[in-house]
Structure 1
Amino acid sequence: MTTPAACEAGGSQAAPVAPGVDPNAVPTAETLSAAWDLTVLDREGKQVPFKDIVNASPRVLVMFIRHWFCPACQTYMQKLVGTVTPELLSSLPVKTSIVVIGNGGYQLIDHWKREANCPFPVYADSNLKLYEAFQLPRSMGSKGSDYYNGNVLQGFLKAMSQVIWMPHKVHKAGDPSQNGGELLFEPAAAGKNGMKEVTWCHRMQHAADHAKFEDVFKRLGIENISRVAGPA
Structure 2
Amino acid sequence: MVDASALEKASKVDVFDSKGSTINFGTIFASQKVVIVFTRHFFCGKCQAYIQQLAAVPAEALGNAQVEIVVIGCGDWQAISHYAERTGFSGKIYAEPTRVLYRSLGMDIETLATTPADQERPSYLAATGSRLKNALVSTWEGPLKHPSLLGKQGAISQLGGDFVFGPGNRCSFSHIMQHTEDHVEIQELMKHAGVTY
Q: Deviations over 1:6-65 (max 9, x none)?
A: xxxxxxxxxxxxxxxxxxxx111110111111100110111111111122x421111100
Residue 123 of structure 2: SS of its match in structure 1? Answer: coil
Instruction: For 1:103, give the aligned amino acid.
Output: C
What corresponds to 2:140 in structure 1?
A: 161
Q: 2:95 aligns with which of 120, 124, 147?
A: 124
Deviation at residue 157 of structure 1 after TM alignment = 0.8
Give the CA RMSD over aligned residues: 1.5
Q: Which residue pairs with 1:71 in the alignment?
A: 45
Unaligned runs of 5+ in 2: 116-120
* d(CA) in 2 for partners of 1:169, 1:218: 35
Q: Deviation per CA, 1:71-90: give whole Å up to 9, x if none.
A: 111111112222x1333211
Q: In the alignment, which residue of structure 1 is the partner of 2:171?
A: 198
Helix, strand or coil: the match of 2:23?
A: strand
Amino acid at match of 1:155: N
Q: List structure 1 segments (4+ residues) > 6 angstroms apart after TM superposition.
A: none
User: Which residue type is aligned with residue 138 of structure 1?
Assistant: E
1:219 paired to 2:196: no
Shift of 1:151: 2.8
Shift of 1:103: 0.3
Q: After superposition, what is the alpha-carbon deviation per residue over 1:155-195, rounded to whole angstroms, capped at 9, x for unaligned?
A: 221111121122232100111100111111134xxxxxxx4
Which of 166, 175, 182 lines up with 2:162 in the alignment? 182
Structure (1/2) with the larger helix percentage: 2
After superposition, the Cα gap between the structure-2 partners of 1:85 and 1:198, relative to the gap in structure 1 and judged at 3 Å, is same
Query: 1:30 maps to which residue?
Result: 5
Matches of 1:110 and 1:86, distance apart in 2: 21
Q: Distance in 1 between matches of 2:191 and 2:83?
A: 27
Between the aligned residues of both structures, percent identity stands at: 30
Q: Distance in 2 between matches of 1:34 and 1:51?
A: 9
Gaps of 5+ in 1: 1-25, 188-194, 226-232
2:29 alignment counterpart: 54
**SS in structure 2 at match of 1:172:** coil
**Secondary structure of the structure 2 residue equivalent to 1:196:** coil
Contact 1:126–1:174 under 8 Å retained in 2: yes
* Counterpart residue number, 2:118: none
SS state of the match for residue 73, structure 1? helix
Query: TM-score w.r.t. structure 1 length?
Result: 0.77
Computing the radius of gyration from Cα coordinates, the structure with the larger value is: 1
Q: 1:81-160 maps to which residues of 2 (within 5 A)? A: 81-82=55-56, 84-92=57-65, 95-136=66-107, 137-143=109-115, 144-149=121-126, 150-160=129-139
Q: Which moved more, 1:121-130 or 1:27-36?
A: 27-36
Larger displacement relative to structure 2 (64-73 or 141-150): 141-150
Determine the C-alpha separation between the residues in 1 that align with 2:40 and 2:59: 22
TM-score (norm 2): 0.89
Letter in 2 for 1:169: L
Question: What one-letter code is carried by the residue in structure 2 that aligns with 1:43?
Answer: S
